[in-house]
């Protein structure tokens, strides 16, 4: 991962690294599907108008055009590459609502593009893995709970190390800000969301300058943001700050976050933290908000984030509320590969390299390989009958663990070139140890 890229911001992987990425994608797909999420793929290109519905991100959009424009090109809609999976998904839901069964559960693993400055962990082209549950008109709160559980289980299945889901509820935050006299809650949420990046003093200053907060209001907003608990005790801390009876909005946020924390601590114990500094800067979030911290890689920021939205997708008077979370797969992968924490046990899927005694044996060697392949064992056949020592060295360089030999009498032997063990065998029944059947993804603290 320390290789110099010929084009900055675009990641190209070596074979072993790509196997690690595929393992991550397959693991996510399996976890999502076992929880009932359907696969979805949307087009790479959207109209600029569609993408700009999310907010002021025009500097991040890659606009596209043909090199040779037609005379009528000026009348066509301006096009751009998608910068996330959420906005295209909202468009997809409104266009296909008549063909979907709600609540609609989907996962989507695709490339996205952003025109931002490349730096460590930031790419112009990268893969995201999203899950969402979308309703028609209404969506039960338990969907917020379920989607958090599913994502926690997906991250556990990836074996990326210890992580924490940092959860909050914007109803709670907004209700509290209103209770202390701050009416521009959208501005306050955006400012508080910067707390970890700029620190409390700068947040307080910006609250006073931008959101019209007094020094006392700014201090109380910071007191709320500093509440962090691993259980439901955050609710008492909030009530202690409010003093009087909480407003209906604040109480609804407290109830929802309490339920979320309770169920998460039951289903995925030790993974959730109620963190009332989490706000998510985008205005369309309306309730649950989640960010995920990977311990030991705090510099990455949130590796998985999202939340509840009531009207990201709409069609006339028909509204499609939803809740969703997204993992920045490429960002996470590059960090773990660079640190050496995650690696593939070998660089090729091939289990067996079938050698040639003579050039005329190539057809017979293919028969051996096909018998192995028919039982799901990846096999590769030598292209020329070099000395066995050279064929073994080639297999070793490729990372292939087993080498197959056939003598002039048709007897078969297989050699584990890692241990040197060689035994007589039969291509119709031989199988490698289970751990050798496919490349294994290991952490540096684990044995291959």
Please state the residue numbers annotated as binding site for L-histidine: 84-86, 114, 128, 132, 280, 284-285
Point out the annotated binding site. Answer: 84-86, 114, 128, 132, 280, 284-285
Characterize the bridge pairing of strands 272-275 and 163-169: parallel
Q: How far apart are CA 187 and CA 42, in angstroms?
A: 32
């Amino acid at each position: 991962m320390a290789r110099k890229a010929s084009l900055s911001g675009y990641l190209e992987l070596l074979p072993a690294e790509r196997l690690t990425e595929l393992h991550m994608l397959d693991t996510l797909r399996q976890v999502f599907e076992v929880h009932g999420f359907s696969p979805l793929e949307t087009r790479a290109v959207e109209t600029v108008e569609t993408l700009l519905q999310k907010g002021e991100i025009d500097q991040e959009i890659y606009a596209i055009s043909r090199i040779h424009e037609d005379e009528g090109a000026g009348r066509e809609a301006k096009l751009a590459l998608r910068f996330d999976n959420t906005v295209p998904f909202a468009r997809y839901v409104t266009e296909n609502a008549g063909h979907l069964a709600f609540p609609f559960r989907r996962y989507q693993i695709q490339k996205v593009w952003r025109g931002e400055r490349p730096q460590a962990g930031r790419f112009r082209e990268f893969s995201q893995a999203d899950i969402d549950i979308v309703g028609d008109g209404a969506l039960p709160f338990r969907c917020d709970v379920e989607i958090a559980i599913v994502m926690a289980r997906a991250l556990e299945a990836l074996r990326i190390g210890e992580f924490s889901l940092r959860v909050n509820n914007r109803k709670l935050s907004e209700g509290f800000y209103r209770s202390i006299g701050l009416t521009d809650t959208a501005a306050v949420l955006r400012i508080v969301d910067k707390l970890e990046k700029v620190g409390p003093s700068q947040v307080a200053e910006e609250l006073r300058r931008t959101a019209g907060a007094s020094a006392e209001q700014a201090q109380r907003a910071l007191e709320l943001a500093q509440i962090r608990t691993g259980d439901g005790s955050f609710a008492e801390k909030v009530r202690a700050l409010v003093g009087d009876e909480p407003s209906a909005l604040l109480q609804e946020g407290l109830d929802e976050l309490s339920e979320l924390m309770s169920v998460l601590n039951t289903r995925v114990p030790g993974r959730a933290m109620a963190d009332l500094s989490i706000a998510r800067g985008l205005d369309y979030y309306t309730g649950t908000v989640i960010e995920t911290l990977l311990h030991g890689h705090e510099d990455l920021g949130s590796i998985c984030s999202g939340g509840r939205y009531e009207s990201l997708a709409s069609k006339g008077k028909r509204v499609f509320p939803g809740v969703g979370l997204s993992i920045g797969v490429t960002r996470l992968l590059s960090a773990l590969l660079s640190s050496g924490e995650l690696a593939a046990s070998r660089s090729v899927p091939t289990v067996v390299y079938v050698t040639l005694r003579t050039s005329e044996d190539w057809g017979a060697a293919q028969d051996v390989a096909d018998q192995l392949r028919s039982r799901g064992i990846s096999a590769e056949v030598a292209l020329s009958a070099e000395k066995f020592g050279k064929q073994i060295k080639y297999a070793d360089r490729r990372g292939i663990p087993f080498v197959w030999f056939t003598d002039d009498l048709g007897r078969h032997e297989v050699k584990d070139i890692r241990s040197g063990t060689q035994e007589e065998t039969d291509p119709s029944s031989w199988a490698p140890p289970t751990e050798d059947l496919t490349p294994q993804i290991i952490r540096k603290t684990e044995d291959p």
